[in-house]
Structure 1
Amino acid sequence: MVGILIAEDALTNGAVVAAVASSVAIVFFVPHSVASKPFRLIGGHVAAIAAALCTVGIMMLLPDAVAGNQLVIHTLQGASLALVILFMTITNTEHAPAAGTALGLATSVPLNSVIFILSSALIISVIRIILYRRLHNLI
């Protein structure tokens, strides 16, 4: 987690870091839960990135309506949350912290944030797979 936070400092925003930190907490507090499975961890964050790309696409189609209008921006952030829930449900990749990823990226999806999220999810998943037999649910 320290390595992830050091890399994050120069790469991405706080909401995205909170989402990744929440993923770490779930995976290592309850490693034997359904939400901790690598497929759901990675898939949930991929669904969140897809949802954020949809809302950013809408913002690009309607730049005059979005510019400086907080109501529209907040509505699109809510839409991003609804979309990530829909995408995760359809793909059976429910991972609650990914909702934070969708909110953090709802207004812009920088490539460095996407790389940070996906690489973090992959690293967390690999560590979980390696340590799975030694990990115990703490909750």
Structure 2
Amino acid sequence: MEIIDPHFKKNPRPYIVQSLMALAALFVILFFVESLTQAVIVAALGASTFVVFSMPHSITAQPRRLVGGHIVGIIAGTGCQFIFYQTGLIAGDAPLVLTVFTYAASVAVAMFLMAATNTEHPPAAATALGMLIYDGALLAIPAIIIFAVALALTRRALGRYLVDLF
């Protein structure tokens, strides 16, 4: 079993260049977005950056799935927040098992909706979870959408220079 990918050994340049491109894109986008979001949402967006720059030609890196997946994640997480907490179905001091159930439900709903709408983007499941967990989630919605659109535009602009790193 090899630790270093044989493709990397043959041609390390795209790995280095695309990682630096991801650094630059994420830095610029997060510079404007990070202050509006919470860690779990930023982690989801970081994972999207990984998909776009390491697997740019995969189906999950397509703009429809990248942007659509995060929009579905927003809808699923916000919907679960409303259904479980805002309606009073689950109180803030609910038993841990109910809290954990709501977290799992947000991801399951996002998964279902992404599959049903053909917007599968795995990192966006974390967006759903972040929207549910983060108290100021409504403030994060524009930031998430702007980030996803900016990342999709970056992928489209750089697409011909990017290769799949696998």
Q: Normalization by structure 2: what TM-score?
A: 0.78
In structure 2, the gaps of 5 or more residues are 1-25
Q: Do residues 48 (structure 1) and 73 (structure 2) align? A: yes
Secondary structure of the residue aligned to 2:42 is helix
Q: Do residues 95 (structure 1) and 121 (structure 2) align? A: yes
Q: Do residues 121 (structure 1) and 159 (structure 2) align? A: no
2:37 counterpart residue number: 12
Ranges of 4+ aligned residues in structure 1 off by more than 3 Å: none
Cα distance in 2 for residues equivalent to 1:18 and 1:120 = 12
Higher RCO by CA contacts (8 Å cutoff, separation 6 or greater): 1
Deviation at 1:15? 0.3
2:98 counterpart residue number: 72
Residue type at the aligned position of 1:121: A
Secondary structure of the residue aligned to 2:75 is helix
Q: Do residues 21 (structure 1) and 49 (structure 2) align? A: no
Residue type at the aligned position of 1:56: Q
Q: What whole-Å deviation, never above 9, does each CA across 1:8-65 have from its counterpart, x for those lacking one?
A: 43211000000000000101101011010000000100110110121111111126x3
Secondary structure of the residue aligned to 1:106 is helix
Cα distance in 1 for residues equivalent to 2:132 and 2:80 = 6
Residue type at the aligned position of 2:63: P
Q: 2:132 aligns with which of 98, 101, 106?
A: 106
2:17 counterpart residue number: none
1:134 counterpart residue number: 161
Deviation at 1:6? 2.3
In structure 1, the gaps of 5 or more residues are none
Q: What whole-Å deviation, never above 9, does each CA across 1:81-106 have from its counterpart, x for those lacking one?
A: 11000100100110000011111111
Paired residues, number: 138
Q: Do residues 34 (structure 1) and 59 (structure 2) align? A: yes
- What is the root-mean-square deviation in Å for CA atoms of aligned residues? 1.4
Secondary structure of the residue aligned to 2:120 is coil
